[in-house]
Each structure stands twice: as structure tokens, then as C-alpha cells.
Amino acid sequence: MMRLFRTAVSALGGLLLAVSLPAATAGASGGEFHWRGPEGKPYFITNPPDGKCLAMAQEARQAENRTKGVAVVYAEKGCKGAQHRLGHGEKAPVKFVFKSVKFGGR
């Protein structure tokens, strides 16, 4: 009986480790995303989440992707409308005003 219990505990521990590893390593585009707000004030976020559409609370322009992944800036909220895909180190056109952004991919 004790042998069966130890085998079950070992199997369960391995399953928990396998399930927890991807969750710990996925979910954020490491690095920073920079932009300019009203009156040219600089803003940035660190380690933005992958796969979520983030709405800008105010005017946003001059996007610069310093994350390790891809950022896509959109002209409309809800990640809709005209868009610019920005790889690591890339900048959106200076006059492109964006209202939402989504991160993901490498």
C-alpha cells in the first residue's frame, strides 16, 4: 500500500511541475514599450502581457518597441483599424496616433 502511495505522489508531483513550468515562463514580452503622450510626455511599460489588447487612456504616438517580441499598434481601440507591426527596436511612424497595442511572438 505504501509503495502505491509513493508512486502516486511521485506521478502527481511530476504532473504539477510540468503544468507549472509553461505558466511561469509564458505571458510577458520581456523588455519595455515606449511612447509619447499629450504634450510629448514620455511613457513606458515594462514586461507587457502577451496576447492582450491594451487600450491607451490618452493620446499616444511615437511608439517604440524595446520588448523581446513583436508589438502591433492600432489606430482604434480594441486592436482594430490601421496598424503597424513593430519588431524589437522598431519605431512606428512619428505621426501615427494609436489607441491600442497588442504584444506577442518573437
pLDDT tens digits, the chain, 106 residues: what are they? 555 445 444 443 333 333 333 333 456 779 999 999 999 999 999 999 999 999 999 999 999 999 999 999 999 999 999 999 999 999 999 999 999 999 996 5
Query: What is the predicted pLDDT for the residue at 15?
Result: 33
Whether the pTM exceeds 0.75: the reply is no
How would you classify residue 22: left for phi > 0, otherwise alpha for psi between -120 and 50, otherwise beta?
alpha
Domain 27-104 annotated CATH 1.10.10.60: no
Query: What is the predicted pLDDT for the residue at 106?
Result: 54
